[in-house]
Amino acid sequence: MKNSLSLIWEIPLAILSFFFYKAMKFFIGNLYTIYLAINKKNASRWRVLSAETLKTPLSLPVLMTKGPRWNTHAIIGTLGPFSVKDAIAIDTESANASARSWIAVIYSFPGYETITSLESEKLNPTDQWASLKLKPGQYSIGLRYYNRFDKITFPAIKVGDRELVAATQIPSNINDFYHNLIQKKSWFYLALHYYIFTILRLRKWLPESFVRNEYLPVGAPDTTFFYGHLWRGQSLQVEIEPLLVKNYDIYLTVYDRSSLPLFWSQLEQEKYLTQPIANNGFYLIRMRPKPDLTDESFKKLTIESNLNDEDSLVRCLQILGSNRAIATSIP
């Protein structure tokens, strides 16, 4: 497990990985921007993440540089870029009929900065449409469906009075590709994300904003995140206060060092123990308020971490409801 001497060679490799990731993100991102600008037809239809999507040569490199912490629990679709003069409208009736919980995030284009979002929990469920006022410019949409139903439809979108895309039905098993995604592992993706394990390992000596921005470059609004690293052979035990289990949907994904998902689970019990990880990697917990959550005090969690005894075979993350979460390790 932990070996301080390994930092002698790990830190220089992590620095190389960091700059390699930044260079590839710039290069691949520009290629993708040009592709979307040229391919107008593809920009005006829902692109739902699936095995079919990954067959195109540029898709996986784009995903591994723009949003590399795979959300294995949501069905994800993107739309755009498209031009807006003053407002867009989303067919919330279709979205509500497809998932218990969903979030639509509006990004600027080509900068991909988060502009605003719509969360199902904050909307009137009887409304058929929801509108968002935007400044004139180009935008894209990222839509995440959680706890989806058997029939899944991505919603119609209007830009002004014009329908940009009609409601689109997709297969309910579209996320099955995640089970084989680890087979895409290669030296290229390991080189891209090698540095992530190192900055998580050195987290207490680095600015937290830097660590978060690198680990979660496109973290969704209205979501609470907990994350950290795991040494080869370690398990993660998550202990959650009962009131949080009752009021939140809680999702765990464990990744290998190349940031490909190894296993994942929705946490519905107060305690959960993962299997030992085969090689060094990291984990991410996403917490989203359940649709019927009305107590605002549950939406103000903070986290305190203690990694002093990280050599133990089982690391324990306690998530408490008194507006704090403490990470410790079981000896």
Question: What is the C-alpha radius of gyration for the chain, rounded to an integer number of angstroms?
Answer: 20
Pair of tokens at residue 62: 């784009």
* pLDDT for res 305: 39
Closest CA to 222 of 146, 330, 158, 134: 146
Contacts of 300 by beta carbon, 8 Å cutoff, 6+ apart: 323
pLDDT score recorded for residue 322: 60
Q: Could you give the percent of the chain with pLDDT greater than 70?
A: 89
**Within a domain: residue 84?**
no
Q: Strands 235-240, 314-320: parallel, antiparallel or unpaired by DSSP?
A: parallel
pTM for this model (two decimals): 0.88
Q: Is residue 138 part of a domain?
A: no
Side chain identity at residue 20, one-letter code: F
pLDDT of 133 higher than 60: yes
Count CB neighbours of 238 within 10 A. Answer: 23
* 130 lies in some domain: no
**pLDDT > 80? residue 326:** no
Q: Are 109 and 66 in contact (CB under 8 A)?
A: no
* Model confidence band, residue 309 (pLDDT cutoffs 50, 70, 90): low
What's residue 232's pLDDT? 93
For residue 193, pLDDT beyond 80: yes
What is the identity of the amino acid at 2? K
> Does the pLDDT at position 192 exceed 50?
yes
Q: Domain limits at 34? A: 1-73+171-331
pLDDT in tens, 249-287: 999 999 999 999 999 999 999 999 999 999 999 999 998
Does any domain span residue 103?
no
SS3 219: coil
- Count of structural domains, the chain: 1
Report residue 311's pLDDT band, with 50, 70 and 90 as the boundaries: low
Are 60 and 178 a contacting pair, CB within 8 Å?
A: no
